[in-house]
A and B are shown apart, each in its own frame.
Chain A
Amino acid sequence: MARKPLVLGIDAGGTMTDTFVVDENGDFTVGKAATTPHDESVGFLESAADAMSYWDGDGRSLYPELEVALYSGTTMVNTLITRRGRKVGLITTKGFEDDVLMGRGMQSWTGYSYSDRIHAVTHVHPSALVDRRHVHGVTERVDVFGEAVIPLYEHEVEAAAEELLADGVEAIVVHFLYSYLNPEHEQRARAILAAAIARSRRGGDVPVYLGSDLRPVIRENSRLNAALIEAYAVAPVRTQLEKVERAVQSRGYRYPLQTVLAYGGLCNIRYPRLHETLISGPVGGVMGAKHLSALTGIDNIIVTDLGGTSFDIGTITAGYVPVEPEPVLARFKLNLPTIAMENIGAGAGSYVKVDPVTKKVQIGPESAGSTPGPVSFGKGGTTVTITDCDLVLGYLNPDYFLGGKQKLDKELALRALKEQVTEQIGVDVYAGAEAIVRMMEREARDAIRAVASARGLDTTQYTLFGYGGAGPLHLAGYTEGLDFGGVLTFHFAAAFSAFGCTTADYQHRYARSVHLGLPPGCDAPAKLAVAEAVSRVWSEMEEAARAEMANEIAVAREIRFTQLAMVRYGGQLSDLEAVSPAPRLRTAADVDRLIAAWEDLYSKINSRVARYEGAGYQIFELGLLASVEKVKPRIVRQPLGPAEPARAAHKGTRNMYWKGRWQPASLWEMEMLRPGNRIAGPAIVEHPATTLVVPDGKCVEVDEWNFFWLR
């Protein structure tokens, strides 16, 4: 019987668009195609067609059978980076008009390479998303307690509205100080703007965004950035997503297109705070790892994603995924809870260059992208990349890259490598290529070490997941010398992020700043007051979630709520998000239970001795996760077979260069390996979308889940 496809996951990265078609049993096929930034639906369709071409082969269209199609892409980030968004007007508290120009100091260097960060001459503030002439200050003031100390001067709002509309702005953002505590002035301004917009000859086509609506959370500049980005960059993204949606629906897909949120969940592309999908790329991998963690019981994980342009690292501790509350995106700091990931600009497509004066070899941070790509693609790329080195060293099969769709020209790579690098520094071309690859791997290894020590993790208690198109290829290299509990990769490594997206639930996340304190030894009435305040905010959020999700999800399904509290010890500067054991806090004991749950997590992450009950507790933010369950791939446990792989899986041998000498590596087809199989290095295990290198002295074992352990 033909397999029924369930989920289509798409991850449009900077270089490649990965697609993942999954059936009910968790069997899947992977597709890859070059990302097409001008119209992402082109690259997506090609990638999906690739994935579907491996499906059963009866040639039928799979779109009508899909339950979920979900997409995450780079359009919004590109719109931001290239400043091709809408013409936005801003109405803000008088005296704070220049905030858009000043921004945060760190925005002048964030995202730079290390050498640029220490050379202040390259520091420059990102250009503002809104023209300073379209910023209007109006008299009003809400104080730090949420009291209106100066009323809103409505005639000033009216004058600003007239002027902005006359200037032809396409969207208006209203951002007042402390509006997260008291949104009345912003709401009044919206009413005035609505009237002005209705009066203007442009009719109702100018949307208005309120800071207090989008992100009622402390920190003025980050809240402003979030609102500006929503107003500035979301429209073109919606257009792209609608194009993709039309493309899938015209081929028979029956539901709305879904996209991925920065904190790991899905939403419909009509979600009102679509800027929350800005950072969804690397997030997919962490969600996938979390899913596998729940499945296999491995609950301490370090995930590493080596793609074409970057190396991303994330962690999962005791099943907990750390959230970064204020990430930087396109050099703007914004209030957008995001799965915490670190990354360095080193990937398989990273350029390799030699400093003409010092002869020092440098890798990245720039990379080739899909066009022109590495030199060996023969598409006009002239600068040597890591992929070219991998090819020269025999790790990559020139006739089986992307399943043979992209032929690799070894001679071209060899010549460029000699001319640009090894002759410059006077070394043998193969020794040089290996040194470069090892150097990239060392950078990745150092980054893993840095993350582990910054987060205080004992790596022996963790399993490392290595994925991304180039992950398995360099896995042995970048984990060498690191003491992990285990090193694991997957036959779907190349599409692991897309796979991760398919494991997520529909989810919305709500957050609101509060200011609640539990001083040391406080009494029951004080706790009860906190309980009431917390419960009230949670109820309001649940109401909002019900209203929003009802519009979004056609099928009436049960919404599952998870109540969150961001707690810290008194006087600390950062908080940790705890899941409340009860849906509401009704008694002083409920408050104690919430604090106990938080403290338990705190000690798991920071060690038990870091507890400091004597400081009391503070709650600065409350949150709510509203999820609706979605069908997911079911990865099946299989009985272990013999250690000897099937004869048909053996494809021959190829010489590979490792640690300074050529050695014959046995060659295997990854898709034909079965649970229980064990292959000793030197070996190369090939998959149409990825290559696993097993060096001499190491071996790879396939476990009951069909995962690959490098030992």
Chain B
Amino acid sequence: MASYPKDVIRDLIDGKLPWQTTKPIMSDFKDERRFEIYLEILQERVPWKERILLPVGEHLYIVEKGAARIVKCDCGHEFGPYTENWKLEALVYVRDDERSLDEIYPGARKCDPGWMELREYYCPGCKAQLEVEAVTPGYPVVFDFVPDLEGFYRDWLKKPL
């Protein structure tokens, strides 16, 4: 079975692996310890101590804080329980008119703000952009991902959560 050194997984996370190396990894069966090593690398990079259970975005992680499982940004800002949408606690900037859309998609490339708007979510702590939604005006805030943490750890990783 395939297994890769930690350096390779680190380069994979950072997008530094050349395509000739990446493609066989993508096409092969998932290496047994990938998730474990992946979490190890992420854990080494964050300045706080809570255990990462699952990454949920480029800057966001579900972490174990006491008895609770919360969403936390890599800067340390905490959003609250992972079963609730973290976006409701984030800063939001909505591009819903010609002028603001034009900054991103100039001229004819932009969408019709009557049909679609862009919602940008930022971390209140470090102001990093966390997510962008492209939705029709009035559409509820999208809840991207509620993972089945218990099932994932029990059935797939075969480890206690």
Within the complex, which residue of B24, B26, B29 is in contact with A357, where a contact is CB–CB below 8 Å? B29
- The answer to whether A571 has its CB under 8 Å from any CB of chain B is no
Q: Tell me whether A356 and B30 are in contact (CB under 8 A).
A: yes
- The answer to whether B32 has its CB under 8 Å from any CB of chain A is yes
B residues whose Cβ falls under 8 Å from a Cβ of A? 1, 19, 23-24, 26-27, 29-30, 32, 156
Complex CA–CA separation, A113 to B26 (angstroms): 12
Which residue on A lies nearest to B1, using beta carbons? A356
> Which residues of the other chain, A, contact B156 by a CB distance below 8 angstroms?
357
Q: Tell me whether A124 and B23 are in contact (CB under 8 A).
A: yes
Q: Tell me whether B19 and A121 are in contact (CB under 8 A).
A: no
Across the A-B interface, give the 5 residue pairs with the lowest CB-CB distance, nearest first. A355-B29, A116-B27, A122-B26, A356-B1, A356-B29
What 1/0 flags go to A341-383 for Cβ under 8 Å of B? 0000000000001111100001000100000000000000000
Q: Tell me whether A121 and B26 are in contact (CB under 8 A).
A: yes
Within the complex, which residue of A122, A354, A355, A356 is in contact with B27, where a contact is CB–CB below 8 Å? A122
Which residue on A lies nearest to B32, using beta carbons? A356
- The answer to whether A115 has its CB under 8 Å from any CB of chain B is yes
Which residue on A lies nearest to B24, using beta carbons? A366
Which residue on A lies nearest to B23, using beta carbons? A122
Q: Tell me whether A124 and B29 are in contact (CB under 8 A).
A: no
> Which residues of the other chain, A, contact B24 by a CB distance below 8 angstroms?
366
Complex CA–CA separation, A113 to B27 (angstroms): 9
| Minimal beta-carbon separation of B35 from chain A (angstroms) | 12
Which residue on A lies nearest to B27, using beta carbons? A116
Complex CA–CA separation, A354 to B30 (angstroms): 11
Complex CA–CA separation, A414 to B54 (angstroms): 40
> Which residues of the other chain, A, contact B26 by a CB distance below 8 angstroms?
119, 121-122
Q: Of residues 100 to 151 in A, which have CB atoms within 8 Å of B's CB atoms?
A: 113, 115-116, 119, 121-122, 124
Complex CA–CA separation, A357 to B34 (angstroms): 13
> Which residues of the other chain, A, contact B32 by a CB distance below 8 angstroms?
356
Which residue on B lies nearest to A83, using beta carbons? B20
Complex CA–CA separation, A356 to B2 (angstroms): 10
Complex CA–CA separation, A355 to B1 (angstroms): 8
5 A-B residue pairings within 8 Å (CB atoms): A116-B27, A119-B26, A353-B1, A356-B1, A356-B29
> Which residues of the other chain, B, contact A420 by a CB distance below 8 angstroms?
1
List 9 extra interface pairs beyond A119-B26, A420-B1, CB under 8 A: A113-B27, A122-B26, A124-B19, A353-B1, A353-B29, A354-B1, A356-B1, A356-B30, A366-B24
Q: Tell me whether A357 and B30 are in contact (CB under 8 A).
A: yes
Complex CA–CA separation, A122 to B32 (angstroms): 21
Which residue on B lies nearest to A353, using beta carbons? B29
| Minimal beta-carbon separation of B23 from chain A (angstroms) | 6
> Which residues of the other chain, B, contact A366 by a CB distance below 8 angstroms?
24
Complex CA–CA separation, A121 to B23 (angstroms): 10
Q: Of residues 193 to 219 in A, which have CB atoms within 8 Å of B's CB atoms?
A: none
> Which residues of the other chain, A, contact B19 by a CB distance below 8 angstroms?
124
| Minimal beta-carbon separation of A115 from chain B (angstroms) | 7
Complex CA–CA separation, A357 to B29 (angstroms): 9
Complex CA–CA separation, A27 to B131 (angstroms): 73
Which residue on B lies nearest to A424, using beta carbons? B1
Complex CA–CA separation, A610 to B54 (angstroms): 61
| Minimal beta-carbon separation of A126 from chain B (angstroms) | 10
